[in-house]
Every structure is written in structure tokens, then in C-alpha cells.
């Protein structure tokens, strides 16, 4: 999503904006301040990213002057932020007690990483956006059902096709099924979709099984190449979080009905704007 935002912003704004992930911002400012960023050999990576990185950020801000701080901060995917991350963000404002602009966008239903997400209380009650403006009616109904939410779509939203579900014996068979669907979507006289309109999402730990192409349809893992219509995108659910495509095929492992698994499915499936196919791998 960071790369997509950078591509979407006119170059004339580059001097006034910093677009980065939370940890990317931490690393950038630590380098400017001469603060060691990477975890030591005895520190677990999980502990570093969650607890020590925000401490590094606050150390860096103590050493940097106001020219390296910000008047406005906009946070997306706020449900993924830990408590210490919010605390550390106070240090990036030129005046933490009089923040000129501070916006947080979040969706509790997309919480994948934080056990009990919390938003800074200083922001007050959230302004809710209950209307689904991305998906067709049928995809929106399906996604709302995953998280037990009432479905609300904008007036005039297209009904769309019913999401398609296919069972597969194994990962190899799953990608064969994906290939059939992708070729159907992209064939000029059938689906007629452009390559940049189609994405395939699969578990990150299955990358060794990802095909180099779907026969006549090229595949790319590079988001910039995808945007330039050089191939259908292959990506993990996590890397595609916050983005969208007109047609999405998702490879899923058969999983439990835990709250975390429902959140995972909601995040992945709600990326599809018009066409959704889910291939569930039995083993």
C-alpha cells in the first residue's frame, strides 16, 4: 500500500509528504539521528517490532530538531497498531500538545495482529463509515456475513455475481483451478479483463508453489509491474492488505472457524470489487 500511495501522489507534493510504514518511519528517523535500529542477536524479532522499535523512535526524536518533525500525521490500518506505537507517535509532532492534524483510519474487523486494539482517546469518538463503497452487493453481503455485520451498500451499487467457491485436493490442484479462472477472466472474447485488474492471493508460506505464469497469462509479484499491466499479480494476503482489484482469486487452506481465521478471510475476500473466487485446499 505504501508503494501505491507514493505512485498516486503528484511529484509536486513529495517535498511536503513522508509516506511510509510505521517501522519504515522508525528506521528512517533512527538513521538520521544515529540511533541503532536493528535488534541485537539476543532480542527476539517479535519483541523488537512490537516493543523496542517504538522506544528507538522516541530516542531518535529526542536527538532530532523540529525540522525533522511533523505538523500532521495520518495513520491507516490503525487497528494494527500496538499501544506503544501510539505513544511513540506523539514524539513525531512538532507540538504534541497542540497537534494540527491527526487522523486515524481503522477497521476493527480487519484486526490481524493486535489482541485488543485501542485508538488514542484524545481523538474522541470515531466517526463511523458504515457504507460499503467498494464491493458489489453480493460480495459485500458475503463479507459482512463473515464478521456478523449488517450489510450496507450505496444506492445503485451493482448486484454482481455470487462469489464462487471451489474445493481443491492440494496446492498444486488449487493453482491449476486458479489458472483456469484467471484465463477465463482475461481472455479477450470471454472475460476481457486487463492484467492489472486481476490479483491472486495465497498464503505466504505457499510461495514455493506459486506458478511463474498461468500458461498464456503472465504472472508478476511486483506491484509496479502489475500496475503497468505486465502480469496478473501474485501476492500474499498480508502484502495486499489495504489494496483492491476488480477480480480476485484466493487460495485458502482449510482452517478452523476461530475469530482470527474469520478476520483473515474477511480481509482477503473484501479486496475483490466485482468478481471473487475462493479455492479451498483440503490438505
Residue pLDDT, tens place only, 168-227: 999 999 999 999 999 999 999 889 999 999 999 998 888 999 999 999 999 999 999 999
Helices marked H in the chain — which ranges? 2-8, 22-33, 45-47, 53-63, 83-89, 137-146, 171-186, 223-227, 237-240, 259-269
Nine-digit cell at 181? 479462472
Q: Tell me the torsion sign for CA atoms 104, 110, 112, 115.
A: positive
Nine-digit cell at 198? 486481476
Predicted confidence at residue 5, as pLDDT, reads 80
The predicted-structure confidence for 64-95, as pLDDT tens digits, reads as follows 999 999 999 999 989 889 999 999 999 999 99
Predicted confidence at residue 195, as pLDDT, reads 98
Predicted confidence at residue 251, as pLDDT, reads 96
The predicted-structure confidence for 222-234, as pLDDT tens digits, reads as follows 999 999 999 999 9
Predicted confidence at residue 239, as pLDDT, reads 87
Q: Give the distance from CA 107 to its chain's centroid.
A: 12
Angle (CA) 182 185 187, round 5°? 100
The predicted-structure confidence for 14-65, as pLDDT tens digits, reads as follows 888 999 999 999 999 999 999 988 765 444 456 788 889 999 999 999 999 9
Contact between residue 30 and residue 37 where contact means Cβ atoms under 8 Å apart:
yes
Rounded Cα distance between 226 and 271, Å, is 16
Contact between residue 264 and residue 215 where contact means Cβ atoms under 8 Å apart:
no
Quote the crossing angle between the two packed helices 22-33 and 53-63, to the nearest 10°. 40
Contact between residue 109 and residue 263 where contact means Cβ atoms under 8 Å apart:
yes
Q: Give the distance from CA 192 to its chain's centroid.
A: 27
- The values of phi and psi at residue 219, to 5°, are -125, 145
Q: Is the pLDDT of residue 257 over 80?
A: no
Say whether pTM exceeds 0.85. no
CATH 3.40.50.300 in the chain is located at 137-281
Does residue 13 or residue 87 have the better pLDDT?
Answer: 87
Nine-digit cell at 203? 498464503
Mean pLDDT score, 97-126:
83
- The values of phi and psi at residue 218, to 5°, are -70, 155
Helices marked H in 147-253 — which ranges? 171-186, 223-227, 237-240
Mean pLDDT score, 148-173:
93
Q: Give the distance from CA 264 to its chain's centroid.
A: 11
Predicted confidence at residue 42, as pLDDT, reads 43
Contact between residue 97 and residue 125 where contact means Cβ atoms under 8 Å apart:
no
Beta strands in 59-175 (DSSP E): 72-75, 101-104, 164-168
Architecture in CATH for domain 137-281: 3-Layer(aba) Sandwich (3.40)
Amino acid at each position: 500500500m505504501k508503494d501505491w500511495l507514493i505512485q498516486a501522489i503528484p511529484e509536486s507534493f513529495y517535498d511536503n509528504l513522508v509516506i511510509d510504514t510505521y517501522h519504515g518511519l522508525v528506521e528512517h528517523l533512527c538513521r538520521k539521528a544515529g540511533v541503532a535500529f536493528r535488534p541485537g542477536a539476543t532480542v527476539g524479532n517479535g519483541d523488537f517490532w512490537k516493543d523496542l522499535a517504538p522506544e528507538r523512535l522516541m530516542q531518535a526524536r529526542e536527538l532530532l530538531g523540529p525540522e525533522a518533525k511533523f505538523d500532521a500525521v495520518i495513520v491507516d490500518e490503525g487497528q494494527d497498531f500496538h499501544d506503544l506505537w501510539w505513544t511513540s507517535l506523539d514524539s513525531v509532532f512538532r507540538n504534541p500538545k497542540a497537534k494540527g492534524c491527526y487522523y486515524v483510519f481503522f477497521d476493527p474487523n480487519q484486526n490481524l495482529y493486535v489482541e485488543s486494539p485501542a485508538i488514542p482517546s484524545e481523538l474522541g469518538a470515531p466517526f463511523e463509515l458504515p457504507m460499503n463503497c467498494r464491493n458489489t452487493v453480493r460480495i459485500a453481503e458475503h463479507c459482512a456475513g463473515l464478521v456478523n455485520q449488517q450489510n450496507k451498500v450505496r444506492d445503485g451499487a451493482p448486484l454482481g455475481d455470487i462469489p464462487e467457491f471451489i474445493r481443491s485436493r492440494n496446492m498444486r490442484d488449487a493453482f491449476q483451478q486458479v489458472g483456469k479462472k484467471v484465463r477465463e477472466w482475461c481472455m479477450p472474447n470471454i472475460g476481457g479483463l486487463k492484467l492489472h485488474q486481476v490479483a491472486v492471493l495465497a498464503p505466504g508460506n505457499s510461495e514455493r508453489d506459486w506458478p511463474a505464469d498461468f500458461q498464456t497469462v503472465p504472472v508478476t509479484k511486483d506491484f509496479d509491474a502489475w500496475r503497468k499491466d505486465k502480469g496478473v499479480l501474485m501476492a500474499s494476503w498480508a502484502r495486499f492488505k489495504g489494496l483492491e482489484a476488480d477480480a480476485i482469486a484466493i487460495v485458502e487452506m482449510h482452517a478452523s472457524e476461530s475469530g482470527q481465521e474469520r478476520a483473515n478471510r474477511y480481509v482477503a475476500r473484501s479486496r475483490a470489487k466485482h468478481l471473487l473466487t475462493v479455492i479451498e485446499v483440503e490438505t
